[in-house]
Amino acid sequence: MGTSSAAATASSAGSSPAADTLALAISPCPNDTFAFHALIHGLVPAAPAVSTTFADIDVLNARAAQGLDDLVKVSYAALPWLLDKYSLLRAGSALGRGCGPLVLTAGRTDLRGASVVIPGTRTTAYLLFRLWAEKLGVGSIEVLPFDQIMPAVRDGRFDAGLVIHESRFTYPSYGLTAVADLGDWWEGHTGLPIPLGGILGRRGLDPAALSELVRASVAAAFADRSASASFVIEHAQEMAPDVVNAHIELYVNDFSLDLGDEGMAAVGELLGRAVAAGLVPALPPGSLDTWPPRI
């Protein structure tokens, strides 16, 4: 893609902070900083300059609802509220197996009436939790930034916590136990990978061109893993190097290069089940239609 293809469209629509600049919003988590390092640092040939915002996933979902960015990482659970402003890109997604959210407690096994802290009401983790816990009769639900959830459960502020990302590697150090792995539950019921988060491109920009930029950035990350190491660590919130590497291995994979048929099927299955359960609005016909995959 030439420099002007996505960026010039954004500039003419008044949607970028400066001419030939794309506004990108992602999390500071290792999977995102690893995948987008090349694009952010001008290492993708012919790509426009990028202005980057780092934020927690709940904040990213809210930014997308306001249409603040040209490229934005969001929870797949939030898609029904965002597709009027954005298109789903085929590249940059976080899908996989063995990488689902966990339900943690400090020893409690019965969640009936339990107070539960979650990372956001429109996160994929919470959507999966609602599908899984439909008949459990859990109690109150409250939201905290995901990095505050385990300390809050450990300290007795909540009976259970719904955790994502690197928490699946570190929760034993907080004295917590996993009472459910929602990724295992999802895979057992559907046979599909779990669709956690995706990259959206602002409507009015060329989705194929944007997806190619993201795909090229992910490919560059795979080609030279050491290039992004210091950048990833800088944003990793004091995560241990082995946890950082495990995080990347779990969440950045072939689906990050292209969703493919299986990835699109997983997204459709998640949202279809959520619509059937009355948890999200119905999607307009064709709203998830996309262009042919590159690979």
Per-residue pLDDT 10s for the chain (295 aa) are 333 344 433 332 333 334 489 999 999 999 999 999 999 999 999 999 999 999 989 899 999 999 999 999 999 999 999 999 999 999 999 999 988 899 999 999 999 999 999 988 999 999 999 999 988 999 999 999 888 999 999 999 999 999 987 788 889 999 999 999 999 999 999 999 999 999 999 999 999 999 999 999 999 999 999 999 999 999 987 678 888 998 899 899 999 999 999 999 999 999 999 999 999 999 877 777 654 444 3
Q: How far is CA 107 from CA 70, 110, 161, in A?
A: 44, 9, 12
Same fold, 4-96+194-276 and 102-190: yes
Tokens for 54, please give them. 């780092």
Q: Is 74 annotated as a binding residue?
A: yes
DSSP state of 228: G
The kind and range of the H/E element at 256 are: helix 254-257
Indicate which residue of 37, 41, 165, 235 is catalytic.
165
Secondary structure class of 292 (helix, strand, coil): coil
d(CA 85, CA 122): 17
- 246 marked ligand binding residue: no
Question: What are the CA-CA distances from residue 278 to residues 117, 136, 201, 212, 274 (Å)?
Answer: 22, 17, 27, 35, 6
- Distance from C-alpha of 191 to C-alpha of 266, rounded to nearest angstrom: 9
Q: Quick one: pLDDT at residue 99?
A: 85
In terms of CATH architecture, what is 4-96+194-276? 3-Layer(aba) Sandwich (3.40)
Query: Which sequence spans correspond to the domains of the chain?
Result: 4-96+194-276, 102-190
pLDDT value of residue 291: 45
Query: Distance (Å, rounded) from C-alpha 258 to C-alpha 238?
Result: 30
pLDDT of residue 17: 39
Q: Is 47 annotated as a binding residue?
A: no
pLDDT computed for residue 238 by the predictor: 63
Return the pLDDT at 1. 36
Q: Is 125 known to sit in a ligand binding site? A: yes
Please confirm, yes or no, whether 165 is among the known catalytic residues.
Answer: yes
135 labelled binding-site residue? no
- Whether domain 102-190 has CATH 3.40.50.300: the reply is no
Contact by Cβ (8 Å): 176, 153: yes
